[in-house]
Amino acid sequence: MRKILFLFIFFLAKQANAQNLTGFVMDEVQKKPVPYAIVIYSNQQKIIYTDSSGFFSLPKDSISVDDTIFIKNIGYQTLIIPVKTIRDAAQYYLAIEEHTLRPVFISACKKTKSFDLNKRVGAIKQYIGPGPEYKLIILAKYDNNSGKPGYIHSFSIYLDEPDNAHSLPLRLRWYDYDVINQRPGKELTDTSLIVHPYKKGWNTFDIPDNTIFFPAQHLVLGVEFIYSQEYHKEYALLKTSTEKLNWLNNMKNRWALGMQYVRDNTDGGFYLVNNETIPKPYGLRFERFYIRPALRFSINVCVEK
């Protein structure tokens, strides 16, 4: 009887695995997993992320045999794979991308000073993030009130959901500012910088030295929420639209970002969804306010050479 039960459980496991395409994303040179890489499928309309071990799982019933999968991550060349060539549990290797970007270094100096930027955030509104299968980047311009260029040495973000069932990491992205068109410009992100918010309210993280250069005028910062494989597994088990809606309405299954009110439209936030390349602005609120992510920064600037 025990043997029969074991065989039955094994059969069920095989059947469950047969409903998904799985794989591992690896660094071609180091032969190590690439965590939180982006896997795009369903005619580039749906997105998931690899987990911390580079693993991903795609539901077969949402993928056409004629579809193509794209695997992307900062610092790597995009890997394009026809679905009909995919083998379950295979390893997929990403090649290093040759960057044209180069680090910007401030000339060596004997003394630096720390400045806090956007310290007085003001009123904060809760912003509820979307469900799975979306890549959302929320970004906005932040001014440098020190008047001197420097590097960010700490970063704080406000989250408004204390008991989330999923630990959702954040990827930081940064951009130039297009002064003429008053919108985010060229992306300057050259490092995949991941942070894990850990509590309700302000979450503060130290930033590695010489990673994010903050010009003397302003910088556009973006935050990209990464949904875990566990999140997708739970969501995939839901069969009806009502079940999915009820699950998404449970705030333990969603993230809530703090958004601050600003009066100047040039300070208002923008957003990018999935593979969009042109950021869209958030609209006016209450006929006089704009919103942007509630972020704070501390930067180190050179005060004596």
Residues 85 and 150 in one domain: no
Residues 86 and 130 in one domain: no
The DSSP H or E segment spanning 230 is helix 229-236
Q: At what angle do helices 229-236 and 241-249 cross, to 10 degrees?
A: 140
Positive or negative: CA dihedral 202, 207, 211, 213:
positive
Residues 158 and 298 in one domain: yes
Burial of 28 (0-12, 13-18, 19+ CB in 10 A): middle
Q: With respect to residue 71, please indicate whether it lies within any of the assigned structural domains.
A: yes
Residues 53 and 146 in one domain: no
Residues 75 and 126 in one domain: no
Instruction: Give 24's strand partners.
Output: 55, 91
Position 167 scores a pLDDT of 65
SS3 52: coil
Burial of 240 (0-12, 13-18, 19+ CB in 10 A): exposed
Q: With respect to residue 150, please indicate whether it lies within any of the assigned structural domains.
A: yes
CA–CA separation, 248 and 266 (whole Å): 33
Residues 183 and 176 sit within 8 Å (Cβ to Cβ): no
Residues 53 and 147 in one domain: no
Position 2 scores a pLDDT of 42
Residues 6 or more apart in contact with residue 20 via CB below 8 angstroms: 57, 58, 59, 60
Position 106 scores a pLDDT of 55
Position 104 scores a pLDDT of 55
Residues 197 and 170 sit within 8 Å (Cβ to Cβ): yes
Q: With respect to residue 124, please indicate whether it lies within any of the assigned structural domains.
A: yes
Question: What letter represents residue 131's amino acid?
Answer: G
Residues 6 or more apart in contact with residue 274 via CB below 8 angstroms: 40, 44, 45, 47, 134, 135
Residue ranges in the chain whose pLDDT is less than 50: 1-17
Position 18 scores a pLDDT of 54
Split into its structural domains, the chain has a count of 2
Q: What b/e string do you get for 81-110 counting C-beta neighbours within 10 Å, with b at 16 or more?
A: bebeebeeeeebebeeeeeeeeeeebeeee
Phi, then psi, of 43 in degrees rounded to 5: 55, 40
Residues 294 and 171 in one domain: yes
Residue range 150-197, pLDDT digits in tens = 999 999 999 876 555 556 789 999 999 999 999 999 999 989 999 988
> Could you tell me which of 26, 48, 38 has the C-alpha nearest to residue 192?
38
Residues 82 and 68 sit within 8 Å (Cβ to Cβ): yes
Please give the C-alpha separations between residue 90 and each of 1, 17, 26, 272, in angstroms, as whole numbers. Answer: 35, 14, 10, 31
Residues 217 and 80 in one domain: no
Q: With respect to residue 102, please indicate whether it lies within any of the assigned structural domains.
A: no
Position 10 scores a pLDDT of 38
Question: For residue 63, what are the domain limits?
Answer: 2-94
Residues 149 and 84 in one domain: no
CA–CA separation, 257 and 225 (whole Å): 10
Position 6 scores a pLDDT of 39
Residues 116 and 185 in one domain: yes
The residue from 94, 120, 151 where one domain ends is 94
Burial of 292 (0-12, 13-18, 19+ CB in 10 A): buried
Q: With respect to residue 134, please indicate whether it lies within any of the assigned structural domains.
A: yes
Q: What is the CATH number of the domain that holds 265?
A: 2.60.120
Residue range 28-37, pLDDT digits in tens = 999 999 999 9
Q: With respect to residue 103, please indicate whether it lies within any of the assigned structural domains.
A: no
The residue from 94, 125, 142 where one domain ends is 94
CA–CA separation, 195 and 193 (whole Å): 7
Q: With respect to residue 101, please indicate whether it lies within any of the assigned structural domains.
A: no
The residue from 33, 65, 94 where one domain ends is 94
Q: With respect to residue 282, please indicate whether it lies within any of the assigned structural domains.
A: yes
Position 166 scores a pLDDT of 58
- DSSP string for residues in 177-193: EETTTTEEEEE---S-E
Residues 153 and 34 in one domain: no
Residues 183 and 76 in one domain: no
Q: What is the CATH number of the domain that holds 81?
A: 2.60.40.1120
Residues 73 and 85 sit within 8 Å (Cβ to Cβ): no
DSSP state at residue 2:
H
Position 234 scores a pLDDT of 81
